[in-house]
Amino acid sequence: MKRLFLFLISFSVVLVLASSGKARVSGMCSNCHTMHNSQNGQVVSGNGPHMALTKYDCVGCHSSSESSTTYMLGNSVVPVVLYTGGNAPTNYLAGGNFWWVKEGLGNTDGQVGDPKGHNVFLNEDDDFLTEAPGSAISCTNSCHIKLSQPSIIEGKYGCTGCHVYPKHHADDHPNGNYNNVVGESGGWYRYLAAAHTTGYGVEGIEDNDWEATVSASDHNEYFGKPGNLSGTGGFMSIQANTMTAYCTGCHGNFHIENDNAGGGSPWLRHPSDAVIPSSGEYANYTVYNPLAPVARPDLTALGGPSATVTPGQDMVMCLSCHRPHGTPYDDILRWDYSQCTVGDSTNCGCFVCHTNKGIFQ
């Protein structure tokens, strides 16, 4: 009994003295876990029990009615991906917010729902879509097709269809650069990894508050690989741990050869992981704008968030235009495309790269 008592004290001290990095959870185990989905004779979660003995599922823990960016759970800062307040959030993290998706389930007016984000709400099918737009995968009930139904790939769906191997108790990698193979301490950037292919995941440098505050010098950094990329995408085709490779695991037809980087003219689809030209109007994008993030060819050389964009080297990528969770705009865009008007650069991310279009008179 004495040994057990000392062990419990030591374990509590470890939790309290956990890394100050915001990605690592610290504090009392009961903040997040319950042994039997019950407390004081009451059920903790009506939808439980949940994996890893957690009180709630991923969205449940990362929801808040008080804040749309972060909240405190014991000693840990929790990023919010679903705001549950009555009105749409005006502030959200780098990935956006699922508010517009959740509010739209069963609603077909087009103002909320499918076009506004990824549907990770289990067993609640999309109202308009039967599979991921641009899907190039021919398997059934796979996370490559939809996130709201169980997958044949390790049963990953919902949030874990993308964030495959959550490691809430792992130390941050130096500089927040998650680039380890599956099974090593830390894991991949934002836990984005291939469920069925060991050694592939997303490399990036994580902003320490998930872009709750964001500026030219305070933001996530993303890895990109330029070149003439063959096939329909995914890690196996692109052979690089890029965000674009990850996105095209589901949206592969948006990355077909000759439609993107290295392809010919005319463009049929907007390029991804294509080098921003160092000539013409593109050469003017030299100061990082969070409205249109870029991918970098070498994160090791970068070391941390940079306020500089280098045309002829840095790249446009999937997240240059989209947020992965949800936004107020169709196609999960970072801005309202329907309001982009030649000569008016206000809040139109297109003109961050296409600089002449925004100032044309």
3-state secondary structure 247-263: HCCCCHHHHCCCCCCCC
pLDDT of 257: 53
Q: How many CB atoms lie within 10 A of CB 341?
A: 12
What would the mean pLDDT of 347-352 be, rounded to a whole number?
Answer: 92
CA distance 309 to 306: 8
Dihedral of CA atoms 204, 210, 214, 219 in degrees, nearest 10, equals -10
Q: Report residue 83: phi and psi, to 5°.
A: -85, 130
pLDDT(347) > 70: yes
**Distance in angstroms (rounded) separating the CA atoms of residues 233 and 261:** 12
The pLDDT tens digits for 225-277 are 886 656 667 777 778 889 988 888 888 877 665 454 555 566 777 888 889 99
Which of 14-18, 38-42, 200-204, 274-278 shows the lowest mean pLDDT across its residues?
14-18
- Rounded to the nearest integer, the mean pLDDT of the chain is 77
Residue 48 has pLDDT above 80, yes or no: no
Average pLDDT over residues 51-61: 78
Residue whose token pair is 């308009």: 128
Percent of the chain with pLDDT over 90: 30
Q: Residue 25's pLDDT is what? A: 78
Tokens 């103002």 map to which residue?
111
pLDDT at 107: 58
| CA distances (Å), origin 335, targets 58, 104, 121, 253, 342 | 27, 19, 24, 23, 15
Query: Are 357 and 344 in contact, with CB atoms under 8 Å apart?
Result: no
Mean pLDDT of 154-183: 63
Confidence of residue 175 (pLDDT cuts 50, 70, 90): very low
* pLDDT at residue number 8: 34
pLDDT at 108 over 50: yes
Per-residue confidence (pLDDT) for residue 360, from 0 to 100:
58
Q: How confident is the model at residue 160 (pLDDT cuts 50, 70, 90)?
A: confident
- Confidence bin at 332 (pLDDT 50/70/90): very high
pLDDT above 50: residue 5: no
Average pLDDT over residues 301-326: 93
Q: How would residue 69 be classed by pLDDT, with cut points 50, 70 and 90?
A: very high
Query: Bigger pLDDT: 269 or 186?
Result: 269
